[in-house]
């Protein structure tokens, strides 16, 4: 399945109840180059649902600001979520909703073949790293699965609630940038 086929399949997904409340399926944004970085958040909020793009609200602005300040190249990353439809009242997606939606993220994984996956927050960490992952315990750790390195950091929305997490968030992203630079240097 190529990107076009995948996106059209995702657009018509009704695998779980979240589909009934959506305005748009929020698939992803960023570079579709293979072998780069995949950032994974939790699920769309109100702005994302309206625009059909992930991380375009307040948390997204914080993420973009950090990636810009740390000079990540826009060619080097793609941003997606565990669930592609907005949970009502921005509640956390249930385990079942995540499970129903994960095949779409797996497909993005197949298309992107990322060398680095960054879990943004505990929903992504629980679904991609380990079932009982707690962000304070796993952030900054690196796990290799096949040809891909997985890590986690705070969800950018957590920084809006607690400014003191900002320094750790930047520190984690700096490590991602430097690790990516090492990998890309030897592969390009």
Among the listed residues 37, 29, 35, 38, the one whose alpha carbon sits nearest the alpha carbon of residue 7? 29
Q: Does 41 help bind ligand URA (rule: CB under 6 A)? A: yes
- Select 100 or 123, whichever has its Cβ closest to ligand URA: 123
- Taking a C-beta distance cutoff of 8 angstroms, is the pair 56, 82 a contact? no
Stretch that binds ligand URA, among 35-43, 126-134, 137-145, 171-179 (CB under 6 A): 35-43
- Taking a C-beta distance cutoff of 8 angstroms, is the pair 64, 55 a contact? yes
Among the listed residues 152, 120, 122, the one whose alpha carbon sits nearest the alpha carbon of residue 134? 122
Q: Does 54 help bind ligand URA (rule: CB under 6 A)? A: yes
For ligand URA, how many residues bind (rule: CB under 6 A)? 13
Residues 129-188 that bind ligand URA (CB under 6 A): 157
- Select 46 or 132, whichever has its Cβ closest to ligand URA: 46
- Select 31 or 184, whichever has its Cβ closest to ligand URA: 31
Residue of the chain from 16, 38, 59, 101 that contacts ligand URA (CB under 6 A): 59
Stretch that binds ligand URA, among 40-48, 91-99, 138-146, 165-173 (CB under 6 A): 40-48
Among the listed residues 148, 126, 112, the one whose alpha carbon sits nearest the alpha carbon of residue 30? 112
Among the listed residues 138, 142, 146, 16, the one whose alpha carbon sits nearest the alpha carbon of residue 82? 16
Q: Does 28 help bind ligand URA (rule: CB under 6 A)? A: no
- Select 31 or 183, whichever has its Cβ closest to ligand URA: 31
Q: Does 93 help bind ligand URA (rule: CB under 6 A)? A: no
Among the listed residues 48, 73, 179, the one whose alpha carbon sits nearest the alpha carbon of residue 116? 179
- Select 94 or 184, whichever has its Cβ closest to ligand URA: 94
Q: Does 48 help bind ligand URA (rule: CB under 6 A)? A: yes
Q: Give the DSSP letter string of 22-33.
A: -SS----EE---
Beta strands in the chain, from DSSP E residues, in sequence order: 29-30, 37-41, 77-81, 116-120, 143-145, 148-153
Stretch that binds ligand URA, among 8-16, 41-49, 98-106, 133-141 (CB under 6 A): 41-49
């Amino acid at each position: 399945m190529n990107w076009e086929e995948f996106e059209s399949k995702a657009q018509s997904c009704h695998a779980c109840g979240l589909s009934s409340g959506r305005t748009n399926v929020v698939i992803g944004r960023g570079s579709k180059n293979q072998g780069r970085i995949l950032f994974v958040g939790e699920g769309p909020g109100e702005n994302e649902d309206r625009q059909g793009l992930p991380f375009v609200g307040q948390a997204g602005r914080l993420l973009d600001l950090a990636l810009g300040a740390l000079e990540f190249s826009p060619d080097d990353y793609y941003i997606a979520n565990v669930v592609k439809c907005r949970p009502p009242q921005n509640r956390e997606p249930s385990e079942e909703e995540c499970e129903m939606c994960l095949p779409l993220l797996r497909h993005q994984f197949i298309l992107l073949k990322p060398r680095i996956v960054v879990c943004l927050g505990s929903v992504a960490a629980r679904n991609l790293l380990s079932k009982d992952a707690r962000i304070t315990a796993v952030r900054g750790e690196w796990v290799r699965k096949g040809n891909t390195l997985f890590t986690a950091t705070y969800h950018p929305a957590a920084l809006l609630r607690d400014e003191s997490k900002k320094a750790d968030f930047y520190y984690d992203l700096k490590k991602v940038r430097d690790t990516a630079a090492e990998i890309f240097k030897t592969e390009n």
